[in-house]
Every structure is written in C-alpha cells, then in structure tokens.
Amino acid sequence: MFRLAIPVLIEQLLVMLVVWIDTFIAARYLQETRYIAAIGVMAYILWMIPCTFGIVAIGSTALTARFVGAGDFKSAARTTNQSLLLGVFLALLVTLLVFLFGDTFLQLLGMRADAAEPAGRYLRYVIPVIPAMMVQQVGIACLRGAGDTMSGFITMAIVNTVNAIVGITLATGLGPFPQLGWDGLAIGTISGYVTGGIIVFVLLIRGRAGIKLKRKLLKFDYRLTCRILKIGIPGGMDQLFLVSCHIAFLMVITGLGNAALAAHSLGIRIESLAYLPGSAFHVAAATMTGQYLGAGKVKKATRSALMATAIGGSLMIVSGFIFYFGAELLTGMFVVDNQPQITATLSATTIAASATSAGNPSYVIATFIATSTISENHTNLVATLTIRLLQLVAFSMPSLALMIILSGALRGAGDTRWPLIFACVGLLGIRIPLALWLAQDQIHLPLLGLEIDGWGLGVIGAWYAMIADVVLRSLMITARFWHGGWQRIKV
C-alpha cells in the first residue's frame, strides 16, 4: 500500500508546492487582489480541462488494474494503446471548445472586469498545450493501473520543478530574464505541461510495468473502447459534473466581489494540503481494489480499502488540526499588510460570521446594513476571511477523507455510477442552493417572479454549504461501500 501511496503523496506535494508558489507570487509580487482572484478561477479551469480526460483515464485505470491482477499483460497493453487513441480525439475536441468559448465562459462566471482580463490571458497560453495535458493524465492513469506509481511521481517531480523555475524566473525577472509578471506565471504552467506530456510519451514508447505503446495496437477497437467508456463515462462525468457544480458554486462567490473571491481562492489553495494524503490513498485504494478483484480476492480488496481509509484519514485529520490552530500563520504566507485594502459590503462578511457564531442572525443583517459603507482600515479583509474559512473547513476533514478515499476504492472496482449519483444529490441538492441562501441577502428567482431573503453571510456562508455537502456525500459513499455491491461489478 505504501509503495503505491507514497510516490503519489510526494507527487501531490510537489503539485501543491507549485500551486502555492504561483499564489505566493501573485499575492506578494503582483500585489493586486485581482490577480489572486484570477489565479483562483484559473485553478478551477485547469481542474476542469483534465477532468474531461477522466472519461478515458478512469476506465483505463480500472481495466488495466483488472488485467494486471489477472496476469493478462497483453490486454493491459492493448487497453493503454486504445486509451491514448481515444484521448487524442478527446483532446482535439476540448482544444477546439476552449478556443471557441473560453472567453465566453469567463464572462459567464460573472468575474469583475479587472480580474477577468488576466484570467483570459492565462487561458490563451494554456489552449495549445491541452493535448500534452491529455497524454500526461491518461498515460499516468494507465501506469498507475499497472501498479507503477513511481513513473508518475518522477514525471510530476520534473513537471513541477520546470513549472516553478520557469514561473518564478519569468514572473519576477530573475537574472538576465525579462520580468513578465502574470504572463510569466502562465508560461511556467504551460512549460510544465509540455514537459510532462513528452516524458510520459517517451516512457510509454519504451515500455513500463508491462505496458507499451505499439503502432500495431493503435487501431480502433470497438469492443475495448466500449469497455473503457462503460466505466470511464460515469466516472468522468462524475468529475466533470463535480467541476461544473464547483464552478456554479464559484459563481455564487464571484458575485460577492474580489475580496471574497480572493479569500476563497487562498482558502482552497491552503486546504489543498489536506488533499495530499487523500489523493495518495485514493490512488492506492483504487489500484489495490482493482487488482485484488481481478485476482478474485474480494476480502483483500475490502481490507486494503479500509486500511487506505484509516491511514489517509488519520493524516487528513492532522491537517485539520493544522488548519484550525495554524490558520493565521498559513494565511500570512500569502497575504501581506501592504496589499490594497478593500471596503464596502464585503467587509461585513467577517462581522456576519462572528454574529452567526453567537447565534444572532438578526444582528447579522442589522450590522451588514450599518457597516456597508465603512472602510476596513486596520485589518486585511482577505486575510481575515481566509483565516475564518480555514478554521471552518478543519472540522470537515474526517468526512472529506471518507469521501475521497472510499470513492477511490469504488472507482477502482469499476463502480463509478453511484459516486456520480451521490455527487448530483450533494452538489445540486445541498451545496449550490444552500450556498445561495446562506451567502446572499436576496435570492432572485426570475422564473417564479420571487425574491427570497437570504442570510447574507457572504463567503463564510458559502463554505458552510460546502461542508454540509461533504458530510452528506461521505455518508452516502460509506453506505455504498458497506453495502458491498462494488465487489460484484463486471468490467
């Protein structure tokens, strides 16, 4: 288990470090809230684009793991080749869609114009390297299914090193290089993706873990394609649906202004620390579950999933303690006192959160109105909000661990439909409507011609809704795991 999890853990740590470096540069050197807001939005987009390739990658991991577990390396190699072929067509489609509708999408998010402009520039750098993103994701997914997590770790170590070095150098103008600022961060990102795509392609050409790209296998195989997509479409749609709902959730926050968006972005960046063990043991659970089921060892598949959950969950709970007690220190890494101070209605979100904690929502509304024109002269609003968000999310770590790691076990077994159903219930039924109600003062329902009073808690209220969704989905995924239906899935 640790042989599978530790390389992924370190890989995710490197990914997180690069993300933190980008955020650090945006916050410390560019020193404008709009850049922090823009980089937060780009994080969602750079999450959404690879998730489209999950339609292929998830099915590839599950099938490859089953074949390797059964000792059928020939079929595992055929699956890898077919997956890359499918990925090429999907990458071309995604590239075209982002090229045609990328700017429109940013407008639909409701971003302020000053933050939308740098986000659009960043996106235009990303478009040409989308095929490289596909090769990296699908190739590493196949290798993981075969039990080779080390190749993915080494690849991502190089990718993130390139990303960090190029991004820092060009953003800050180190040595003889020009100071490109925001554009330098974007160039660093695409340099990493190109490097990763080339490395994975070379690894598969040479062959790793019994799988290899071969020209004679790069032919369309209808039956195998159907098997990959039977698993991959529900799993990939689950991820795409998840990202889409997260973006809808983001739209609630963008409507609250740049301060709320910046605090949300920083909070998500810092919270990614907890996803390190979650992602690592998600992959370990998926690989071991698939391989043990392929070998006909159902009890070992169950035990391995529970062990992964126990270890990964313990580490995530430790992260929760760090968030709660170290929120101010973590936030201080990104936000400095001389950043532009933000005024007006968003300053009331912190007061609203405090009042709600005291159990007095009517005082929240009164205070919101009374302070809507008061400047925040002594406190950095972004920092104050971020600290509060981190302390809130600390309490959701046990539920988040169950949701992330056990969903990995289900997907590794090929049980991808139920996680999709649970995502629909949690995101559409809880997170988005509850976020609207808790975050906003007034909720407009144009189709019904109604206006509903909200609680006006701002970004704090939106995060309450996010936590409620995580708790509900963790309970549903745990129930599905104990039901045992995943043990009988045919792939």
142-188, pLDDT tens digit by residue? 998 888 888 888 898 898 889 889 988 998 888 899 999 889 989 99
What is the rounded average pLDDT of the residues 369-378? 30
Most confident of 201-205, 268-272, 371-375, 443-447: 201-205
Contact 389, 267 (CB under 8 A): yes
- For residue 444, report the phi and psi dihedrals to the nearest 5 degrees: -90, 130
> Residues 6 or more apart from 13 whose CB is under 8 A from it?
276
What pLDDT, on a 0 to 100 scale, did the predictor assign at position 358? Answer: 33
Q: Between residues 446 and 292, which one has the greater pLDDT?
A: 292
In terms of Cβ atoms closer than 10 Å to its own Cβ (0-12, 13-18, 19+), residue 265 is buried
d(Cα 488, Cα 244) in Å, to the nearest integer? 30
pLDDT exceeding 70 applies to what percent of the chain? 86
Please say if the pLDDT value at position 359 is more than 60: no
> Residues 6 or more apart from 64 whose CB is under 8 A from it?
76, 79, 80, 142, 145, 146, 211
> Residues 6 or more apart from 231 whose CB is under 8 A from it?
58, 59, 62, 63, 414, 416, 491
Q: Quick one: DSSP state of residue 395? A: G
What is the rounded average pLDDT of the residues 84-102? 94
Q: pLDDT tier at 403 (50, 70, 90 boundaries)?
A: very high
Among the listed residues 37, 33, 29, the one whose alpha carbon sits nearest the alpha carbon of residue 179: 29
Contact 347, 382 (CB under 8 A): no
What is the rounded average pLDDT of the residues 73-84? 92
Among the listed residues 314, 271, 254, 320, the one whose alpha carbon sits nearest the alpha carbon of residue 114: 254
Query: Measured between alpha carbons, how far apart are the two ends of the chain, in Å?
Result: 23
Q: Quick one: DSSP state of residue 442? A: E
Q: Quick one: DSSP state of residue 485? A: G
Token pair recorded at residue 315: 């580490």
Q: Between residues 179 and 338, which one has the greater pLDDT?
A: 179
Contact 479, 407 (CB under 8 A): no
Q: How far, rounded to the nearest angstrom, does the alpha carbon of residue 298 sit from its chain's CA centroid?
A: 30
Please say if the pLDDT value at position 362 is more than 70: no
What pLDDT, on a 0 to 100 scale, did the predictor assign at position 50? Answer: 84
Q: pLDDT tier at 364 (50, 70, 90 boundaries)?
A: very low
What pLDDT, on a 0 to 100 scale, did the predictor assign at position 1? Answer: 65
Among the residue ranges 11-25, 167-181, 233-247, 334-348, the one predicted with the least confidence is: 334-348
Question: How many CA atoms lie less than 13 Å away from 453 in the CB half-sphere?
Answer: 5
Q: Between residues 244 and 81, which one has the greater pLDDT?
A: 81
Contact 90, 56 (CB under 8 A): yes
Among the listed residues 142, 38, 54, the one whose alpha carbon sits nearest the alpha carbon of residue 94: 54
Please say if the pLDDT value at position 475 is more than 90: yes
Among the residue ranges 55-64, 133-142, 309-318, 429-438, the one predicted with the least confidence is: 55-64
> Residues 6 or more apart from 380 whose CB is under 8 A from it?
335, 336, 337, 339, 341
Q: Between residues 133 and 239, which one has the greater pLDDT?
A: 133
d(Cα 61, Cα 16) in Å, to the nearest integer? 23
Number of Cβ within 10 Å of residue 226's Cβ equals 10
Please say if the pLDDT value at position 347 is more than 70: no
Question: How many CA atoms lie less than 13 Å away from 194 in the CB half-sphere?
Answer: 14
> Residues 6 or more apart from 184 whose CB is under 8 A from it?
166, 167, 169, 170, 171, 172, 173
Most confident of 99-103, 125-129, 248-252, 412-416: 125-129
Q: Quick one: DSSP state of residue 176? A: T
Most confident of 132-141, 174-183, 360-369: 132-141
Contact 56, 138 (CB under 8 A): yes
What pLDDT, on a 0 to 100 scale, did the predictor assign at position 339? Answer: 45
d(Cα 227, Cα 288) in Å, to the nearest integer? 20
Among the residue ranges 95-99, 226-230, 355-359, the one predicted with the least confidence is: 355-359
Name the domain count of the chain: 1
Most confident of 46-50, 143-147, 166-170, 460-464: 460-464
Please say if the pLDDT value at position 335 is more than 80: no
Among the residue ranges 36-40, 117-121, 311-315, 371-375, the one predicted with the least confidence is: 371-375
What is the rounded average pLDDT of the residues 228-250? 82
Query: Apex CA 303: angle with CA 301 and CA 306, to 5°?
Result: 110
- For residue 19, report the phi and psi dihedrals to the nearest 5 degrees: -60, -45
What pLDDT, on a 0 to 100 scale, did the predictor assign at position 361? Answer: 33
Residue 457, domain extent: 2-488
